[in-house]
Chains A and B, each alone.
Chain A
């Protein structure tokens, strides 16, 4: 700890920070622009000036930039000093010289950091009488809008985009007062994280284009804390609604998970909620293969009670994209023995295996924050930027750890970003990536390996063997691969915080086993090795906890004629199982009830379709890849027949007189039942205050107190002000009434503080800058490493991958935009998603005359697919890639051996 003096009062602050960070942590209002809590100091904007004094006797002092000055013990500064104040006011005046006076029509208005800082510094009158400069704006793609005239040249955009996120297609151009921030020419921003520009930019240069299309002021948004549903990482979000439409998603700070950022899939994937693919009402199909027709709630429940009559053999198929509570309700309805997790055979096995590894082994699962702090990383089989994008962003930070230690020796403090980068240059810490195809973070890797899943696993086992020679040896490795294994092992062994990243992307259990072996071997050596597995969906781990068996078992039961009715919960089975098999399943099962929020191939087969709430219209819990259970809250009340899945299930139970139902009034009731039935979920009860939580007798308002039009919003069809609906599941109100003070962290509906209307307000909610939220970060880790003597190492090393004559091993490839089911319904994501293709190494096509883009026949599991060829020159010999889940593609069991254009070509290797 260091003692610093601010306006003559002593304060204790943490050592090793800059003064700005220290002041903000202490709660002082020091204005800033170029500084960013995650990107630290560069001293460009000069807004954070304070007066510094040498000692007590020094009365003159000198102006310093607080962000560029260490908060060293004994530092004396004044924030209130008139000269410092005048200078800060001067900086705003300069920034406003050319800034358009378009606040009333600016998308940023009302949550603009520049507005806030202008008010904070007291600059209010214009003295500049000359012409303002203007710029041409650029088209930057479907997500981000560009309005350069508003730029205040804080350089944050390029610093985030390039330095932090590794993007290379946005830059600063020209010089002096003509500097321009944008692209070399109009075009779609290539970074997976471009949307963060919207929050990083302190004014309205980069704004959310999806919001623009259905614009609403920030103060008119109804919001609630939420969790992203578009991958397994569980980034925390704040979705905002107005007039029954979701308007945008912004970041919700969580120091352990996503920090200040989101990926573009998470930020812009929300529009599926407003889409035409939503199921608006209850539909019943009078008979198979005819259109479903709307019926009333009562009718459908009566119909269902008939289906679920006593003695009927009803199964439930759950879903890794539905909440724990919804899945548990389904399980309760059908009974645990009739509940299936809704995951494919393989998915099911992989997830169980991962959970076991994390629970029973000595290696802890890493949060994204842990990932950022790792100083040596080995990635096995996972294309993280496409399957768990924010993990890729975290890895980009991890490679700075090792070089940063060298910089500390040069006495360059971590927060001195410009100096750190000047000293670091292109140096990177050890990150090794072993995947079937190239990844978007290969540029920061110290070594890459391309191989079939089995070969990736073998490399992993070889690394584990290097670390502990009692572990199985991998024979027959080339000396090059052997050398790589040695190198990786050395780097991991020498690291302070080594990390092994893997996941379900390769669909290979061997890869996951190899990852576990490495981490465990390191742990046994006394290293604090961590594991980070990417998984397919937002609640994949949650389903692992709930149990049940795979879809395959459900199909088998149906095949054996043991199923009269099936309830499918928020799950498009056609994305997980072979279509023919499913078609057979639907033929066999006479009554299929689908509860979902979007129409899918599965709902097209259903006899009864029940409209469920999307994440924004429901409250529930999901467990992310780290094992962190997190609560998301209903943001708004959906219209029409839509209600939460678990409510449909409860209603079905009530209608069919299933006893439990009577006791479940609220989410808390279900949670209580669930945690009783599944003790490993016990802590879910503690992740957030229950629905009865009140502060001074009041709820937490979903609407900010500046919310406008409340009394007029519905005046075109209702002259009375309607009574706001009651929320029985959560301690939130659907209105602006409620407690306006500090809330427990899981209940923070938005970041706002007097004088801080922009996203920067988060500093008022943190215990200290970059620390946890006051009251602790949200979520509870349900998985901690086991306390075992010796880990149960995996001993089976797969055989080396053998290139087959005339056959090719097809492995899955992933797309951040396109591979995920829900986000791709959003127009912007759809625009960026790829068309189905088959990726082949051009080397293997030599002599066949096949050109890129040409259609090719792929024969897989006896079925033929016609796909355009995409050349991917880093695919290993004998391996092809098939993108997963793209619209217009069919599910295929992978990896699998296939044949390409068999009639006219041999696959020559």
Chain B
């Protein structure tokens, strides 16, 4: 059986499969199969597969679905939302799936929607993904034409409307509750949990938000079974994962590999190692909001628990490499500028704390650092920690900073001491 279920149809340099071609390669079989199962059975299968959310937090998908009220007296309509906002710095894996095989996303959305008996599904797409927008729109139209969407899908009594919603920009829209507000035509401010979206989500109705990659896995689990899925991985977390590498490596890119592939393998085998003249110094394993790992972590397996144990997060699985000629202070400054700008402005620590961090980092980078700056930075990595802010944006934002202060502290000190950036 296939080792690369998610990307098997993706043909670099060529357009995505049409619906007919997709069907021919086994597509939409999962929809047909799921429609013959009960929603509970679909949920059970996904639960058994131990599929964990690919949006960054790794929450078990089957469990997430199980909180949705089911049955005739459940509130209606229910919603399923595909999170295709992908704005994490360094992440580009969902784009690959959205552009490369839009029908797979749609099929995943249909099966997932069926599992929670959603009436309406949305794909919440990042504004910058123009190509994906075009391809998804076409694929959705095709799916409607073939009755994979719409009333009484494939003669069953299940109906589903699926819409494409293109965001108007803002990183925070990707946070699942902010995404709900964005969908309602409001300012994309996160909501508190509880109540969880599964109970009180879009328009106050039960809703599930899943990442694009998560959703793409679902049809394969239904078609091939939970055991098959678990067997794909190299560690406890089942399935494959789309890993990506960017930075000064020979072949930046993204690959579908067994869950649990090590960082070293990714860097050396798939990304072709560092460009000549550049040495590896560190890596953010899962995008811009994850802690740096360094040389000693190269053999860490890229799965949710292993990376966590190493002191970072797997996040999106798209890593950014720091080389020896790039200033870590500058890099962290770039990230904090980003996070400060993308704060929604709702809670104080994030709204005010992140810009302060960015300003200090800029000052240090420009040779205007002062004694005490590092203390303030360090203090903030604690103050902006989980639970202290309203959502996970700010805690994510300080992860690279906190680990940079741990692994590259000497760089910060030298900047302040010498009043300049020695990388320039």
Taken residue by residue from 74 to 100, chain A's Cβ proximity to chain B (1 for < 8 Å, 0 otherwise) reads as 000000000000110011001101100
Stretch of B187-195, B257-265, B303-311 contacting A (4+ beta carbons < 8 Å) = B187-195
Nearest residue (CB) in B for A127 is B376
- With a cutoff of 8 Å between Cβ atoms, the chain A residues found around residue B200 in the complex are 410, 412, 419, 422-423
**B204 A175 Cβ-Cβ under 8 A:** no
Q: Which of B170, B195, B356, B363 is within 8 Å of A97, CB to CB?
A: B356
Nearest residue (CB) in B for A421 is B204
Q: For the complex, what is the distance from the CA of A91 to the CA of B340, rounded to whole Å?
A: 16
- With a cutoff of 8 Å between Cβ atoms, the chain B residues found around residue A556 in the complex are none
A-side interface size class = 35 or more
Taken residue by residue from 418 to 456, chain A's Cβ proximity to chain B (1 for < 8 Å, 0 otherwise) reads as 110011110100000000000000000000000000000
Q: Which of A68, A86, A87 is within 8 Å of B192, CB to CB?
A: A68
Nearest residue (CB) in A for B343 is A176
- With a cutoff of 8 Å between Cβ atoms, the chain A residues found around residue B203 in the complex are 425
What's the least CB distance linking B357 to chain A, in Å?
11
**A153 B192 Cβ-Cβ under 8 A:** no
What's the least CB distance linking A874 to chain B, in Å?
28
A419-B195 contact given A94-B353, A175-B343, CB 8 Å threshold: yes
- With a cutoff of 8 Å between Cβ atoms, the chain B residues found around residue A172 in the complex are 187
Stretch of A41-49, A263-271, A322-330, A826-834 contacting B (4+ beta carbons < 8 Å) = A41-49
B351 within 8 A of A: yes
What's the least CB distance linking A67 to chain B, in Å?
11
- With a cutoff of 8 Å between Cβ atoms, the chain B residues found around residue A95 in the complex are 348, 352
**A179 B347 Cβ-Cβ under 8 A:** no
Q: For the complex, what is the distance from the CA of A174 to the CA of B344, rounded to whole Å?
A: 9
**B187 A43 Cβ-Cβ under 8 A:** no
Q: For the complex, what is the distance from the CA of A62 to the CA of B382, rounded to whole Å?
A: 12
**A177 B191 Cβ-Cβ under 8 A:** no
**A43 B390 Cβ-Cβ under 8 A:** yes
- With a cutoff of 8 Å between Cβ atoms, the chain B residues found around residue A717 in the complex are none
What's the least CB distance linking B165 to chain A, in Å?
18
**A97 B345 Cβ-Cβ under 8 A:** no
Chain B residues 192 to 206 lying within 8 A of chain A, measured CB to CB, are: 192, 194-195, 199-200, 203-204
A214 within 8 A of B: no
B342 within 8 A of A: yes
Q: For the complex, what is the distance from the CA of A153 to the CA of B345, rounded to whole Å?
A: 8
Q: For the complex, what is the distance from the CA of A845 to the CA of B421, rounded to whole Å?
A: 79
A411 within 8 A of B: yes
Q: Which of A46, A63, A176, A424 is within 8 Å of B345, CB to CB?
A: A176
**A63 B195 Cβ-Cβ under 8 A:** no
**B199 A410 Cβ-Cβ under 8 A:** yes
A87-B342 contact given A46-B347, A419-B195, CB 8 Å threshold: no
- With a cutoff of 8 Å between Cβ atoms, the chain A residues found around residue B390 in the complex are 43-44, 46
- With a cutoff of 8 Å between Cβ atoms, the chain B residues found around residue A127 in the complex are 372, 376
Q: For the complex, what is the distance from the CA of A424 to the CA of B205, rounded to whole Å?
A: 10
Nearest residue (CB) in B for A94 is B352
Taken residue by residue from 199 to 232, chain B's Cβ proximity to chain A (1 for < 8 Å, 0 otherwise) reads as 1100110000000000000000000000000000
What's the least CB distance linking B356 to chain A, in Å?
6
**B348 A91 Cβ-Cβ under 8 A:** yes
Q: Which of A43, A63, A412, A422 is within 8 Å of B347, CB to CB?
A: A43
Nearest residue (CB) in A for B380 is A90
What's the least CB distance linking A49 to chain B, in Å?
7
Nearest residue (CB) in B for A427 is B204
Chain A residues 93 to 152 lying within 8 A of chain B, measured CB to CB, are: 94-95, 97-98, 127-130, 152
**A410 B345 Cβ-Cβ under 8 A:** no
A252 within 8 A of B: no
A416-B343 contact given A46-B348, A177-B351, A410-B199, CB 8 Å threshold: no
- With a cutoff of 8 Å between Cβ atoms, the chain A residues found around residue B204 in the complex are 422-425, 427
B349 within 8 A of A: yes
- With a cutoff of 8 Å between Cβ atoms, the chain B residues found around residue A177 in the complex are 340, 343, 345, 351-352, 355
Q: For the complex, what is the distance from the CA of A142 to the CA of B347, rounded to whole Å?
A: 32
A734 within 8 A of B: no
B346 within 8 A of A: yes
- With a cutoff of 8 Å between Cβ atoms, the chain A residues found around residue B389 in the complex are 46
Q: For the complex, what is the distance from the CA of A62 to the CA of B388, rounded to whole Å?
A: 9
**B359 A410 Cβ-Cβ under 8 A:** no
Nearest residue (CB) in A for B352 is A94
Q: For the complex, what is the distance from the CA of A97 to the CA of B341, rounded to whole Å?
A: 17
A586 within 8 A of B: no
B383 within 8 A of A: yes
**B387 A179 Cβ-Cβ under 8 A:** no
Q: Which of A47, A64, A425 is within 8 Å of B387, CB to CB?
A: A64
- With a cutoff of 8 Å between Cβ atoms, the chain B residues found around residue A253 in the complex are none
What's the least CB distance linking B65 to chain A, in Å?
18
A178 within 8 A of B: yes
What's the least CB distance linking B170 to chain A, in Å?
7
Q: For the complex, what is the distance from the CA of A412 to the CA of B344, rounded to whole Å?
A: 24
Q: For the complex, what is the distance from the CA of A152 to the CA of B346, rounded to whole Å?
A: 11
- With a cutoff of 8 Å between Cβ atoms, the chain A residues found around residue B388 in the complex are 46, 49, 63, 87
**A153 B348 Cβ-Cβ under 8 A:** yes
Nearest residue (CB) in A for B355 is A177
Q: For the complex, what is the distance from the CA of A86 to the CA of B349, rounded to whole Å?
A: 13
Q: For the complex, what is the distance from the CA of A64 to the CA of B388, rounded to whole Å?
A: 7
What's the least CB distance linking B13 to chain A, in Å?
38
A155 within 8 A of B: yes
Q: Which of A94, A178, A422 is within 8 Å of B348, CB to CB?
A: A94
- With a cutoff of 8 Å between Cβ atoms, the chain B residues found around residue A412 in the complex are 194-195, 200
Q: Which of B191, B342, B349, B351 is within 8 Å of A418, CB to CB?
A: B191
Taken residue by residue from 162 to 188, chain A's Cβ proximity to chain B (1 for < 8 Å, 0 otherwise) reads as 000000000010111111000000000
A94-B195 contact given A63-B387, A172-B187, CB 8 Å threshold: no
Taken residue by residue from 314 to 356, chain B's Cβ proximity to chain A (1 for < 8 Å, 0 otherwise) reads as 0000000000000000000000000011111111110111011
**A175 B344 Cβ-Cβ under 8 A:** yes
**A176 B187 Cβ-Cβ under 8 A:** no
Q: For the complex, what is the distance from the CA of A43 to the CA of B341, rounded to whole Å?
A: 21
- With a cutoff of 8 Å between Cβ atoms, the chain B residues found around residue A423 in the complex are 195, 200, 204
Q: Which of A62, A130, A152, A411 is within 8 Å of B195, CB to CB?
A: A411
**B347 A411 Cβ-Cβ under 8 A:** no
**B192 A94 Cβ-Cβ under 8 A:** no
Q: For the complex, what is the distance from the CA of A152 to the CA of B180, rounded to whole Å?
A: 26
Q: Which of B180, B348, B383 is within 8 Å of A47, CB to CB?
A: B348
- With a cutoff of 8 Å between Cβ atoms, the chain B residues found around residue A94 in the complex are 348-349, 351-353, 356
Nearest residue (CB) in B for A154 is B348
- With a cutoff of 8 Å between Cβ atoms, the chain B residues found around residue A91 in the complex are 348-349
A176-B195 contact given A91-B349, A155-B346, A419-B200, CB 8 Å threshold: no
Q: For the complex, what is the distance from the CA of A86 to the CA of B387, rounded to whole Å?
A: 15
- With a cutoff of 8 Å between Cβ atoms, the chain B residues found around residue A128 in the complex are 356
- With a cutoff of 8 Å between Cβ atoms, the chain B residues found around residue A97 in the complex are 352, 356
- With a cutoff of 8 Å between Cβ atoms, the chain A residues found around residue B195 in the complex are 410-412, 419, 422-423
**A176 B351 Cβ-Cβ under 8 A:** yes
Nearest residue (CB) in B for A89 is B383
**B348 A176 Cβ-Cβ under 8 A:** no
Q: For the complex, what is the distance from the CA of A416 to the CA of B194, rounded to whole Å?
A: 10
Q: For the complex, what is the distance from the CA of A176 to the CA of B199, rounded to whole Å?
A: 29
Q: Which of B194, B345, B353 is within 8 Å of A178, CB to CB?
A: B345
- With a cutoff of 8 Å between Cβ atoms, the chain A residues found around residue B344 in the complex are 175-176
- With a cutoff of 8 Å between Cβ atoms, the chain A residues found around residue B370 in the complex are 129
**A44 B347 Cβ-Cβ under 8 A:** yes
Nearest residue (CB) in A for B359 is A130
What's the least CB distance linking B288 to chain A, in Å?
16
A–B Cβ pairs within 8 angstroms, 13 of them: A46-B390, A68-B192, A90-B383, A91-B349, A95-B348, A129-B370, A175-B187, A175-B345, A176-B343, A176-B344, A176-B351, A418-B191, A422-B204
Residues of B bordering A, CB below 8 Å: 170, 180, 187, 191-192, 194-195, 199-200, 203-204, 340-349, 351-353, 355-356, 359, 363, 370, 372, 376, 379, 383, 387-390
Closest 3 interchain pairs by CB? A94-B352, A179-B345, A423-B204
Given known contacts A46-B348, A47-B348, A153-B348, what 6 new A-B pairs fall within 8 Å (CB)? A43-B390, A45-B347, A175-B345, A177-B355, A418-B191, A422-B200
